Amino acid sequence: MPPKKDAKASAKQPQKTQKKKEGSGGGKAKKKKWSKGKVRDKLNNQVLFDKPTYEKLYKEVPQYKLITPAVVSERLKVRGSLARRALIELREKGLIKQ
């Protein structure tokens, strides 16, 4: 009588190799790279008025359709606090109304 074939041993081997093939097929997922968001340029606005900017304030700002500290600050490249003071001065001189 020949020796019996071990059914359990032969059955285990193919299953292990099959599992390995299934698991390693996809590869490792890459981590998501998050964006840094919007990067703004550093503003270098003036802290005090120089002569040309001060003249521009009196000539151009009264003709603006919308006059706010933000608009004045952006167009004349001055700080927001300086723009607020400038609008107060223009209002006191009667060049703009509130």
Which domains does the chain carry?
A: 51-92 (1.10.10.10)
Asked if 50 and 17 count as a contact pair (C-beta separation under 8 A), the reply is no
Which of helix, strand or coil describes residue 46?
strand
Q: What is the pLDDT of residue 22?
A: 54
Q: Rounded mean pLDDT of 25-42?
A: 81
Lowest-confidence segment of 31-40, 48-57, 72-81 by average pLDDT: 31-40
Q: How many CB atoms lie within 10 A of CB 71?
A: 15
- pTM here is 0.59
Q: Rounded mean pLDDT of 78-95?
A: 96
Residue identified by tokens 């002569």 is 51
- Position with higher pLDDT, 20 vs 88: 88
Q: Rounded mean pLDDT of 28-39?
A: 83
The overall average pLDDT reported for the chain is 84
pLDDT reading at 8 higher than 70: no
